[in-house]
């Protein structure tokens, strides 16, 4: 029941007052009964009570009855949605450095130095350690690191891996007070806001933001820049602006955690917003190997190869005749040089590898991925190949992959 006798208010007299039971036949109201509240008075009181009740609820749920400053409440409600980007940037920026790769020309003119970025990820025993891209320090004679406070330090190379394009540097840790927090690149979602921090065009400490466009993209790359794709790099795709000099810098989430190392962008007419970063989980696998061994331990076959169907250097009819291949063999890997394990297994010039452990191999990229993804140092590998038109097999025991310096000295690259 409500405030009145009827469940729903009516200006008419309720019919229940018009009915009388047999026991009420002789009843009469006293002549001088006290007059009750009129309808409009009851309505007014109800409205006032309702208003008071609403105000009390507002006070309870908003906390205005506390000692909190009302201005603070307004600021909280109308907080800048981009404030999280600023907070994350403040957290990350001190751990991002600029890298100058000096050459013979830049010693007299620093503007000629190759530019890049790096991220301080560890401090230990008076040293600070930096992650960057391998291509940033390629051919380095003299590496200079400039921290966010403008202090310049000489850097030494701890190790590098051209396959995953990751390198680790060390600098004097004095005055270094910030180390970046590592995130989890496997938990990323498309559309998540990210921040890129680095040294584009020599403008150190530059911040750009965007979203994750794709969480796990496979990009074919040419490791020796000969135009032939011989590896696939797993990357995070983002539309955050990445320019020359950003390579090796940090891609972070809104909590200021490192989720990737910026590595490249697609630069072409009509192309915009295609930047890539190496996922931090993959980065740290490489970094841990470098920190422990000075390099990444990978199985080594020891062949320098050319794809049979290489579009940039196709073999002509005369060359194919020399290989004596069956007409139905249109893909495979031609051995140009054999070193180490491959040489011990008997491989030689113009052998055409078509299978590894009975798995079809059509290109150098497939050969490399099978070795690195499926095998480890000490494993035995069965190689199926054509020599002078005859199909043969040979077993090879895989060894540790030589260092970059050893490879550059001519020991092969796979």
Pair of tokens at residue 295: 């390099």
Query: Active site residue: 117, 135, 162, 363, which one?
Result: 135
Q: How many CA atoms lie within 13 A of 33 on its CB side?
A: 7
Tokens 């009302």 identify what position? 70
Separation between Cα atoms, residue 401 and residue 414, nearest integer Å: 8
Give the active site residue among 247, 253, 282, 363. 247
Count CB atoms within 10 A of the CB of residue 157.
Answer: 17
Whether the CA torsion 99, 102, 108, 109 is positive or negative: it is negative
Longest dimension (CA), the chain: 132
- Integer distance in angstroms from the first to the last C-alpha of the chain? 88
Question: Rounded to 5 degrees, what are φ and ψ at 19?
Answer: -90, 145
**Cα angle value 192/198/204 (rounded, 5°):** 145
Strand runs labelled E in 199-268: 206-221, 231-238, 250-252, 257-265
- Judge contact between 401 and 379, C-beta under 8 A: no
Question: Of residues 98, 134, 162, 165, which has the active-site annotation?
Answer: 165
Q: What does the alpha-carbon distance between residue 216 and residue 278 come to, in Å, rounded to a whole number?
A: 9
Q: In this structure, are residues 282 and 234 in contact, taking their beta carbons and an 8 Å threshold?
A: yes
Question: Which tokens in the block code for residue 175?
Answer: 């005055």
Active site residue 135: yes
Write out the H or E segment, with its range, that includes residue 98.
strand 96-102
Of 113, 133, 294, 292, residue with least CA distance to 198: 133
Active site residue 142: no
Burial class (CB in 10 A: 0-12, 13-18, 19+), 8: exposed
**Among all residues, which ones are annotated catalytic?**
135, 165, 247
């Amino acid at each position: 029941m409500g405030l009145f006798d009827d469940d729903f208010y009516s200006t008419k007299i309720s019919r229940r007052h018009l009915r009388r039971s047999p026991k009420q036949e002789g009843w009469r109201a006293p002549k001088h009964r006290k007059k009750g509240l009129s309808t409009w008075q009851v309505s007014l009181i109800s409205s006032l009570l309702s208003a008071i009740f609403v105000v009390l609820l507002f006070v309870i749920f908003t906390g205005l009855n506390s000692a909190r400053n009302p201005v603070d409440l307004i600021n909280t409600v109308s907080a800048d949605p981009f404030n999280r980007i600023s907070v994350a940037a403040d957290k990350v920026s001190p751990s991002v450095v600029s890298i100058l790769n000096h050459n013979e020309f830049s010693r007299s003119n620093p503007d000629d130095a190759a530019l890049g970025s790096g991220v301080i990820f560890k401090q230990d025993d008076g040293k600070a350690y930096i992650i960057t891209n391998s291509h940033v320090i390629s051919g380095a004679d003299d590496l200079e690191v400039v921290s966010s406070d403008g202090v310049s330090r000489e850097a030494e190379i701890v190790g590098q891996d051209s396959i995953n394009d990751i390198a680790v540097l060390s600098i004097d840790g004095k005055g270094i007070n910030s180390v970046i927090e590592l995130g989890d690149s496997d938990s990323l979602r498309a559309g998540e806001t990210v921040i890129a921090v680095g040294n584009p065009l020599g403008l150190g400490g530059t911040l750009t933001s965007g979203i994750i466009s794709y969480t796990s993209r496979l990009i074919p790359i040419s490791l020796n820049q000969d135009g032939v794709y011989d590896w696939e790099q797993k990357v995070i795709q983002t539309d955050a602006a990445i320019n020359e000099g950003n390579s090796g810098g940090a891609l972070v989430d809104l909590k200021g955690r490192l989720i990737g190392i910026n590595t490249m962008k697609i630069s072409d007419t009509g192309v915009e917003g295609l930047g890539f970063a190496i996922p931090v989980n993959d980065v740290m696998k490489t970094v841990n190997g470098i920190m422990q061994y000075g390099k990444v331990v990978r199985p080594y076959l020891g062949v320098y190869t050319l794809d049979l169907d290489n579009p940039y250097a196709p073999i002509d009819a005369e060359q194919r005749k020399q290989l004596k291949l069956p007409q139905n063999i249109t893909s495979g890997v031609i051995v140009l040089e054999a070193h180490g394990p491959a040489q011990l297994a008997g491989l030689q010039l113009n052998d055409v590898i078509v299978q590894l452990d009975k798995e079809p191999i059509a290109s150098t990229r497939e050969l490399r991925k099978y070795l690195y993804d499926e095998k480890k140092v000490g494993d035995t590998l069965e190689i199926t190949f054509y020599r002078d038109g005859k199909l043969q097999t040979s077993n090879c025991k895989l060894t540790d992959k030589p260092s970059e310096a050893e490879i550059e000295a001519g020991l092969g690259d796979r």
